[in-house]
Structure 1
Amino acid sequence: MLDDIDRHLLRQWQADPDLTATDLAAILGLPAARVSRRIDRLRETGVLRGVHGVIDWGALGYTVEVSLRIQLDKTVPGAFDRFMDAARKVPEVTQMQTFLGRVDLRLTVIARDMGHWQTLYRDRILTLPHIAEIEALMHVANVKTDQSLPI
Structure 2
Amino acid sequence: MIDLDDTDRAFLRDLARDGTLSAGELGRRHGLSQPSAWRRVRRMEEAGILAGQRVTVDRAALGFGVTVFLGIKLATKGRVSLEDFERAVAAIPEVQVVQHVLGLFDYRLRVVARDIADFERVLRRRIMTLPGVGQVEANVLLTEEPRPGPLG
TM-score between the two structures when normalised by the length of structure 2: 0.87
Q: Is the 8 A contact 2:12 2:151 kept in 1?
A: no
Shift of 1:74: 5.0
Aligned to 2:136: 134
Which amino acid is 2:65 matched to?
Answer: T
CA RMSD of aligned residues (A): 1.9
Number of aligned residues = 150
TM-score between the two structures when normalised by the length of structure 1: 0.87
Q: Is the 8 A contact 1:74 1:80 kept in 2?
A: no
The structure 1 residue matched to 2:8, chosen from 6, 20, 26, is: 6
Which amino acid is 1:124 matched to?
Answer: R
Aligned to 1:41: 43
CA gap 1:96/1:24 in 2 versus in 1, 3 angstroms: same
Give CA deviations for 1:65-100 in whole Å, capped at 9, x if unaligned.
Answer: 111001113532562111111111101101111211
The structure 2 residue matched to 1:29, chosen from 24, 28, 31, is: 31
How far apart, in 2, do the equivalents of 1:26 and 1:113 lie? Answer: 44
Q: Is the 8 A contact 1:68 1:108 kept in 2?
A: yes
CA gap 1:15/1:108 in 2 versus in 1, 3 angstroms: closer
The alignment partner of 1:53 has SS state of coil
Question: Which structure 1 segments of 5+ residues have no match?
Answer: none
Which amino acid is 1:57 matched to?
Answer: R
Shift of 1:150: 3.2
| Aligned residues with identical type, % of pairs | 35
CA gap 1:125/1:4 in 2 versus in 1, 3 angstroms: same
Q: Is the 8 A contact 1:73 1:79 kept in 2?
A: no
How far apart, in 2, do the equivalents of 1:13 and 1:75 lie? Answer: 41
The alignment partner of 2:7 has SS state of helix
The structure 2 residue matched to 1:97, chosen from 96, 99, 106, is: 99
CA gap 1:56/1:115 in 2 versus in 1, 3 angstroms: same
The alignment partner of 1:149 has SS state of helix
Question: Which structure 2 segments of 5+ residues have no match?
Answer: none
Aligned to 1:116: 118
